[in-house]
A and B are shown apart, each in its own frame.
Chain A
Amino acid sequence: MPVIQIPPPYRGPTQGMTEVDVEGATLRECLEAVEKQYPGFGPLVIDPAGNVRKFATWFRNGDKLMGDVLATPLDPNDSIEIISSVAGG
């Protein structure tokens, strides 16, 4: 199963879980699966129009995802990392 790594700012809904294994053929399906397990996670990363929020950068196995990120097909061994800006003076 693909694994979604949960960055610190998003660990409220996941109750501290740092990664979640989910079933899904695309990133969208995987994120929807995370939302089912941990309600409240989805809106943190997907906006009301159904697109990924702008302030996060997505990586699959270390490679930056571009374009239609949510349509990215995932293999069972894939790992998704989300990097978001969380500081600011």
Chain B
Amino acid sequence: MGGPTGDQMIRVDMTNQTAELVAFPEEWRLFGGRALSAKILTAECDPTCDALGPDNVLVMAPGVVSGTAAPTSGRISIGGKSPLTGGIKEANTGGQPGQHLMKLGIRAVIVKGKPADPEARYALNVNADGVEVVAADAHKMKRNYALCMDLHGEYPKTTSFITCGPAGEMGLTGASVATTDQDNRYPARHAARGGLGAVMGSKGLKFVAVDPGRSGVRRPEDRAKFGELCKTYTKEYQEGPQMFQFGTSSVVPMANMLNTLVYKNRVEGQSPDVESLDGARIVESFETRGGEMHNCMTGCIVKCSNVVHDAQGEYKTSALEFETLTLLGSNCAVKSWEDVADMDRLCDELGLDTIETGGAIAILMDAGGMEWGDADGMRALLNEIDQGTDRGKAIGNGAVATGKFTGHHRVPHSLGQTIPAWDPRPLKATGVTYCTSPMGADHTAGLVVNPGLTQDQYVWESQKSQIVNAVCDSSGFCQFLQPSLDDIRNFYGALYGEEITREQIHDQGWGCLEEEWAFNRAAGLTVEDGYVSDALQKDPIAGQVFDVPMDIINQMFTKMPPQEDLFSAKASG
């Protein structure tokens, strides 16, 4: 066994504002990202704790191959007990901090405790000289872009940031954790789902600054094999269809045809505004306004991130994704991608999940609290969130909170988390994922876009996708690179100079799910709690409701014998 040695973790005590570097357990070398977060939370976090109290544990963990020369491999997982679902949560994002932490040999940041003074703000500085917690009161309640503009003047240019916006500081359960993107420019990448920004905010941690200085890439044990894998994988990807070359927003018309471009709080599956929400319009705008497709992290070959400019040619936001165009667009009957771009920027500024926020606003509209498609009203509403109005706080706390605030009956969710664009009624195997994933309704946990499946196929297709995505989100590879389990185990093998078998990689994915399910059971959540809400069981779209019976759902919790396609199936989220 060889490969990178001397790895460390950072333990941060926010009660006493101290940080120390400790050795990373050798036996965890093949665990990163989501799987590592699950291991740490299982060992160190009481599942019954108050998610916004001192006993919750916030984990920041890059993937196993992050910081190496492997393509598109710098993803980072943010983990903790979710204040939204009440269960374990992992939210995965791109940007630079994952690469930078791993170049410094840091496999995880583990944050515990809470300052006695809830008004105090702190930062964690990480660089080649060590780690320290410093005061950051001057940055209290700054929006993410203003914060990063200021930080760029305070830190070396090589520094990337993990930040908490005002929504997180306010403890709003739709809050995200932001990371800065390539060139350490903007806080445009978000570990968005599950309200982990509120966990970061509850600990008084405003930002983490990671400066790798002149640290180089991580050296694999079998450099020749690892290099060959990088070369071959990159060549095959670049010669393939490159499905994300125009970004996830190009999925809009396809989703519309599949009845999953949800409209007006999901009462319909198709939007009459599909043409003006199509990501193709964004790509067309590059010619007259500037903007481009770019990579959110160094070493990315997918380049799915669109940089969106306004009519004056100035940067507005990045990336404007399919999920955002659906939840803040069609689901609120907003007609134009340009309006959605404004709202995407506002959510990034505040540090809010665009899916949860869009789901919440649609409920407000459905309840009669705002006109459908009122983009000006939506902008004003988002701008009142960090002013602390009751309505703003309800929206910032997500769909279920907004349902309670308005008294409205139609609240699509699972485990208290609103449903992503991909709808479980036409896509029932994806619905099985929403009902059974430890993450609640999260398409990145196991997306299955196949409306032709029969009921006896739902569970295997969902289980396969959940295992592949759990391993992918532990590896550091981006789901949009679409690596298979065979791809990932081959990279692991070359990195550490040992053979990783199919059985091992299957066990890792399944083991991650089992640890997460165990955490949720200990937190008091039942299988029934995870079933999608009434709105999806009673209101049809395209003639379909979600009606997969519990005896089918329960089959998910038995590990199925692996079929050959498990190892060639591609990550998809």
Contacts and interface: CB of A to CB of B under 8 A. Distances in A.
B251 interface: yes
A44 B243 CA distance: 17
Interface in B234-274: 240-241, 243-244, 248-251, 253-255, 257-258
A36 interface: no
Given A9-B451, A86-B449, A89-B573, 17 more contacts: A8-B449, A9-B254, A11-B451, A11-B452, A15-B452, A16-B452, A17-B452, A55-B250, A64-B241, A83-B240, A85-B250, A86-B243, A86-B254, A87-B248, A87-B480, A89-B322, A89-B323
B8 interface: no
Contacts of A44: 257
Contact of B450 (A9, A13, A85, A88): A9
20 contacts: A8-B448, A12-B258, A13-B452, A14-B452, A16-B452, A16-B454, A16-B457, A54-B250, A57-B243, A85-B243, A85-B244, A85-B248, A86-B254, A86-B449, A87-B479, A88-B248, A88-B322, A88-B421, A89-B321, A89-B322
A64 B450 CA distance: 23
A13 B254 CA distance: 15
B308 to A, nearest CB: 16
A8 B450 contact: yes
Interface residues of A, number: 25
Interface in B153-195: none
B506 interface: no
Given A43-B257, A44-B257, A87 B450 contact: no
Interface string B415-458: 00000010000100000000000000001100111111110010
A55 B249 CA distance: 11
A43 B258 CA distance: 11
A11 B450 contact: yes
B306 to A, nearest CB: 12
A8 B457 CA distance: 13
B533 interface: no
A84 B244 CA distance: 10
A24 B255 CA distance: 29
Interface in B41-91: none
A89 B193 CA distance: 11
Contacts of A88: 244, 248-249, 251, 255, 321-323, 421
A51 to B, nearest CB: 13
Interface in A62-76: 64
Nearest to B249: A88
B253 to A, nearest CB: 6
Nearest to A56: B254
B402 interface: no
B251 A87 contact: yes
Nearest to B454: A16
A57 B447 contact: no
Most buried by B among A9, A12, A84, A89: A89
Contact of B258 (A9, A14, A57, A85): A9
B520 interface: no
Nearest to A18: B452
Contacts of B421: 88
Contacts of B573: 87, 89
Nearest to A85: B243
Shortest 5 CB-CB distances between A and B: which pairs? Answer: A11-B452, A88-B248, A88-B322, A12-B451, A8-B450
Contacts of B426: 12
Interface in A1-42: 6, 8-17
B280 interface: yes
Nearest to B190: A89
A9 B430 CA distance: 12
A55 B447 CA distance: 19
